[in-house]
Amino acid sequence: MNIALTNHSAKKKTSDGEGIFAKKEKSVSIIEHARNTLETFRQRPMDDVDSLIFSQLCYMHIGLVAPALGDDSRPKAIKELFRAELFDKILDEVRDPESNRKLLTAMCASPRYRDVKMAYFVDSIDRESEKQFCAVTFFLPGGEIYIAFRGTDATIVGWKEDFNMIIEQTVPSQRSALAYLEKVASLTRRPIYIGGHSKGGNLALYSAVMAPDEIRKRIICVYNHDGPGLAQSILKTGNYARIKDRVKTTLPQQSLIGIIFNNGEYQAVKSDRLGIMQHDPFSWEIKDGSFVYSDKVSESSDMVARSVAQMEEDLSAEEKRIFVDTVFDIIYSTGYSSFAGWPQAAIKEGDRMIGALKNIDSETAEKMKGILAEIIKIIFKNIISSGKNTGD
């Protein structure tokens, strides 16, 4: 996939003699973009920025208004979310509630987004199967649908499932995403856009690749916003080859999530944050209605991708499973099911966490030490390799 480049140099003035350069236009976030974009979807079709905005809306508890899958009620417009009595519930335990409140307000007021209908909402958390899954379908005025999958939320189950992607070729939420796509496709004959942020992007990609041919042919575009890619065994299938030209992967320059299992086909987006905070959609820069692109992700992101790939080769499935299960057993020992307020809980329940550590049998503890040592070796080797490649 070609990487779009944006010219950041200031434009020369040609109409008058006032100065040599014009003032550089400031980039905006998805909040300002939603607030300032007035064209409807009939006037301008769906694009990458719209996809990220719908993906972020999916993190909110819009099922308070959007009819559930299996509910015969009419689809509800986004503007129907704008109810003061619902705000606290819609944003309950949502990360960065203030930014989400601003985005919700902008979308409910915008002629582009306010009349978009929502339906087929699903929200399921199952600790036993380690699944966190949420999806909703937006009905665009132009006649298409956009299926949005929620990324990792604040639940510990959600994060555990993300880590399980390193162990398993498929995880429960991926199978749920495929089932959801097949069900929605059977309920409407509309052309399909599909996407998500973080794990949601991975679910969109997986479901599109694994869908039956008759559904896959209806898919216009698959948007993966900083979500992990797919295992090589899936990428090598004929199914992926049939849809790869309709996949758009966007990563922030310092991606640490979406770079995992990435096959080198992406567009790098500039962010106003640093490091892992670039994963936040509110930090992605937009200018003239499009993302502000860069040439590629940072060397540190490339290093992460190489380290995970090598870890896949060097560690057995059992070693990876022991490591992930043990880490999350310690996290669960606090009694909390969500990371909201977890740092304070970890301090408060410190004795219980120490007890969980002590309860690890000696064989597992030895294996964990070995796995940690191997991971450190892999990262250290890649740091040295990066230095050699860049001349640092």
- CA atoms of 195 and 146, how far apart (whole Å): 8
DSSP secondary structure, 172-190, as one string: HHHHHHHHHHHHHHHH--S
Structure tokens at 278: 């670039």
- Per-residue confidence (pLDDT) for residue 160, from 0 to 100: 67
What pLDDT shows up at residue 360?
63
Strands 290-291 and 293-294: unpaired
Q: Which domains does the chain have, with CATH numbers?
A: 30-298 (3.40.50), 315-383 (no CATH)
CB 34 within 8 A of CB 110: yes
Per-residue pLDDT of the chain (392 residues; tens, 9 = 90+): 433 333 333 333 334 444 444 455 799 999 999 999 999 999 999 999 999 999 999 999 999 999 999 999 999 999 999 999 998 999 998 989 999 999 999 999 999 999 999 999 999 977 665 668 999 999 999 999 999 999 875 566 656 666 667 677 788 899 999 999 999 999 999 999 999 999 999 999 999 999 999 999 999 999 999 998 888 778 888 899 999 999 999 999 988 778 878 888 999 999 999 877 888 999 999 999 999 999 888 887 887 777 777 766 777 777 777 777 776 776 666 666 554 555 555 556 556 655 655 666 676 666 666 655 655 565 555 555 545 554 44
Contact 55/197 with Cβ under 8 angstroms? yes
Closest to 112 (Cα-Cα) out of 25, 197, 36: 36
Distance CA 92, CA 59 (A): 10
What pLDDT, on the 0 to 100 scale, is given for residue 380?
58
Report the pLDDT value the prediction gives residue 32, as an integer from 0 to 100.
Answer: 98
Q: Which residues contact 114 (CB under 8 A, 6 or more apart)?
A: 77, 78, 79, 107, 108
